Amino acid sequence: MAAQSNIKSPENFSFKPPEWQEWKQRFARYRLITKLNKEDGEIQVNSLIYHMGAEAEKILTRFKFDAEADANDYEKVLKKFDEHFVPRNNVVHERARFRRRVQKAGETVEAYVRDLYHIVNKCEYGDRDEHIRDQLIFGIQDKELSRKLQCKPNITVEKAVDMAMYSETVTHQVAAQGKAQALDEVAQKGKGKFRSGKNPHRSKREENSRGACTRCGRKHEKGDCPAKGKQCNKCKKTGHFAAVCRSKGVKEVTTARKW
């Protein structure tokens, strides 16, 4: 046998029907790179059974071949295992499943298209690419792009996929730019407050006092000062209130009244 000793053998088959196709494909690659496919049929069949596992021996004994020699024909033995593990395809069900498949929220276009190709293999359509194209256009999340693609009756599946992936990329880039711009605006506003010298902890009283009258300490229309003609209780002068009096030398003295 011309197999290369440094090539790791595939693990034994699980004997779960849904996993047969994947395991068979892995063994096919192993068979090719080890040049097992160059060996005679008997060695290839025995290698297949050995790598599948002990359960394969029991299944093999139940197979019926047209000729005794067919039991050593790799392709015919593999076909028997296909018939055993792969249930008869329900085309109507698979096509209904394909038509219901739309792009999920958060799913990339690439992942969506990859799954469409996986499902369509069981639909037995004559023109597979045409159905992939139609389902892509119908099922993508971007309905504006879907409308544009529907206006191109001769578009190929390759072109439709390219446009969908390009649109997705641009959408992500624009969203990232918008986020960056918003963060920059917030940063600029913060810098503006710092440069203006505004103190965010300044009391409301201090803010309200800006622009107040120096005679009464309040805000009012020009000429309407309530302190006009009034006597200050602190310095006894007229024209302002004690709350804004700037006099330092006069103090109010109160004495207890004697009875």
- DSSP labels, 53-66: -HHHHHHHTT---S
Q: Judge whether 4 lies within some domain.
A: no
Picking from 85, 105, 122, the residue at the C-terminal end of a domain is 85
Short-list 235, 232, 230, 239, CA closest to 251: 235
**Mind listing the pLDDT tens digit for each residue in 199-223?**
555 555 554 545 788 888 888 777 7
| Whether residue 81 is found in the same domain as residue 22 | yes
Q: What is the reported pLDDT for 246?
A: 83
| Whether residue 107 is found in the same domain as residue 135 | yes
Q: Judge whether 252 lies within some domain.
A: no
Picking from 121, 136, 171, the residue at the C-terminal end of a domain is 171
Picking from 155, 171, 187, the residue at the C-terminal end of a domain is 171
Q: What is the reported pLDDT for 194?
A: 56
Q: Judge whether 2 lies within some domain.
A: no
Q: What range defines the domain where residue 141 resides?
A: 91-171
For residue 67, give every residue at least 6 positions away whose Cβ sits within 8 Å of its Cβ, in sequence order, or none.
none
Q: Judge whether 6 lies within some domain.
A: no
| Whether residue 140 is found in the same domain as residue 96 | yes
| Whether residue 74 is found in the same domain as residue 99 | no
| Whether residue 148 is found in the same domain as residue 77 | no
Per-residue pLDDT of the chain (259 residues; tens, 9 = 90+): 444 557 888 999 999 998 999 999 999 999 999 999 999 999 999 999 999 999 999 999 999 999 999 999 999 999 999 999 987 778 999 999 999 999 999 999 999 999 999 999 889 898 899 999 999 999 999 999 999 999 999 999 999 999 999 999 999 899 888 887 777 777 777 666 555 555 555 555 554 545 788 888 888 777 788 888 888 888 888 888 888 888 765 444 444 444 3
Kindly tell me the sign of the dihedral angle through the C-alpha atoms of 26, 27, 33, 37. Answer: negative
The total domain count for the chain is: 2
Q: Judge whether 176 lies within some domain.
A: no
Kindly tell me the sign of the dihedral angle through the C-alpha atoms of 139, 143, 149, 153. Answer: positive
pTM of the model: 0.45
DSSP 245: -
| Whether residue 50 is found in the same domain as residue 99 | no
Residue 137: CATH number of its domain: 1.10.1200
| Whether residue 114 is found in the same domain as residue 165 | yes
CA angle 8/71/28 to nearest 5° reads: 30
Q: What is the reported pLDDT for 92?
A: 93
**Mind listing the pLDDT tens digit for each residue in 160-206?**
999 999 999 999 899 888 887 777 777 777 666 555 555 555 555 55
| Whether residue 78 is found in the same domain as residue 145 | no
Q: Judge whether 61 lies within some domain.
A: yes
Q: Judge whether 234 lies within some domain.
A: no
Q: Judge whether 177 lies within some domain.
A: no
Q: What is the reported pLDDT for 192?
A: 64
| Whether residue 51 is found in the same domain as residue 123 | no
